[in-house]
C-alpha cells in the first residue's frame, strides 16, 4: 500500500513540502523531497550500516562531555534555499539543535554532514547534494565515505565559496575533523566492513577485526 502511494507521488508533477511530510507521517518508508519531487531513497547495505554505526558511536562517545550532538539517518534535514528535505547519514551539530517549526524530527543547523556512498547515489552526493548543503549557513565540513573500498573524501570550508579537499585511502591513516575536536582511524571507521571480492584477485578484502 505504501509503495503504491509513493509511486503515485513520484508520478505527479509537483508536491508541496507539507504534502510530503504528511505522506511520510506514520510510515517506515523514507523519501527525499527535492523542489516538488518525492524520491524514494535507495536501500542501504550492511556495510553502509556498519560504517555509519562505527562513526556515530565514536562521535557520541567523544562528545559525551562536549557541546556537540550527533544525529544518524532517521532525522530529516530541511534546506530552505533548495526547498529540499533529505536524510544525511550522520550530522554533527555544535550547541543546541534548531528544529524546523518545533518539529523534533527536522534539523536546520548541521555543522558537519557525512554521507556513506551508495553506487546508485554517489554522483548525486558529490555534486547536487553537496551544492544544496553549501547553502546552509552553519555547514562547514563534509565527509564522503566509500563502502566498497578504503577511501574517504573530506571537504572543509576555508572561506566564502572556498573549500579544500583531503583524501584518505591508507589503513594506517586517521581522519581528523577540521571544525570539531575529533579523530578516528580508518581501521576503526571500517571495523567489521566486508568488501566485495575483487574479480581480478578472486579474494575478498575483509578487514574485520582491525583496530
pLDDT for 198: 54
Place of cell 548543503: 133
- How crowded is residue 99: how many other Cβ atoms within 10 Å of its Cβ? 15
The pLDDT value recorded for residue 120 is: 82
Q: How much is the pLDDT for 2?
A: 40
The pLDDT score that the predictor gives to residue 34 is 96
Distances (CA, A) of 36 to 2, 11, 33, 39, 126: 19, 11, 7, 10, 21
Mean pLDDT by 10 residues, the chain (211 residues): 44 84 84 94 90 97 95 95 97 96 95 94 92 98 97 97 96 95 97 77 39 28
Beta bridge partners of 203: 198
Question: What region does 52 belong to: left with phi over 0, alpha with psi -120 to 50, or beta?
Answer: alpha
Q: 185-200: per-residue pLDDT in tens?
A: 999 999 999 998 755 4
| pLDDT recorded at residue 11 | 56
pLDDT in tens, 5-17: 444 445 557 999 9
Q: Given this model, what pLDDT does residue 196 score?
A: 80
Residue 201 grid coordinates: 584477485
Sorted by where each starts, the structural domains of the chain and their CATH numbers stand as 1-41 (no CATH), 43-189 (3.90.1570.10)
d(CA 208, CA 205): 9
**Gap between the Cα atoms of 163 and 154, Å rounded:** 10
Q: State residue 12's pLDDT score.
A: 59
Amino acid at each position: 500500500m505504501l509503495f503504491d502511494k509513493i509511486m503515485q507521488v513520484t508520478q505527479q508533477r509537483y508536491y508541496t513540502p507539507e504534502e510530503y511530510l504528511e505522506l511520510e507521517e506514520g510510515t517506515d518508508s523514507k523519501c527525499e523531497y527535492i523542489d516538488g519531487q518525492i524520491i524514494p531513497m535507495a536501500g542501504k547495505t550492511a556495510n553502509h550500516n556498519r560504517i555509519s554505526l562505527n562513526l556515530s558511536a565514536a562521535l557520541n562517545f567523544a562528545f559525551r562531555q562536549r557541546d556537540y550532538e550527533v544525529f544518524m539517518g532517521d532525522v530529516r534535514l530541511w534546506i530552505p534555499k533548495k526547498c529540499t528535505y533529505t536524510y544525511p547519514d550522520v550530522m554533527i551539530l555544535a550547541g543546541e539543535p534548531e528544529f524546523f517549526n518545533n518539529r523534533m524530527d527536522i534539523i536546520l543547523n548541521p555543522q558537519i554532514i557525512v554521507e556513506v556512498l551508495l553506487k546508485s547515489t554517489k554522483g548525486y552526493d558529490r555534486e547536487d547534494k553537496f551544492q544544496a548543503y553549501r547553502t546552509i549557513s552553519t555547514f562547514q565540513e563534509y565527509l564522503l565515505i566509500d563502502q566498497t573500498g578504503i577511501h574517504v573524501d573530506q571537504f572543509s570550508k576555508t572561506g566564502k565559496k572556498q573549500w579544500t579537499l583531503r583524501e584518505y585511502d591508507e589503513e594506517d591513516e586517521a581522519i581528523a575533523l577540521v571544525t570539531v575536536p575529533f579523530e578516528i582511524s580508518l581501521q576503526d571507521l571500517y571495523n567489521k566492513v566486508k568488501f566485495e571480492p575483487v574479480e581480478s584477485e578472486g579474494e575478498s578484502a575483509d578487514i574485520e577485526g582491525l583496530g
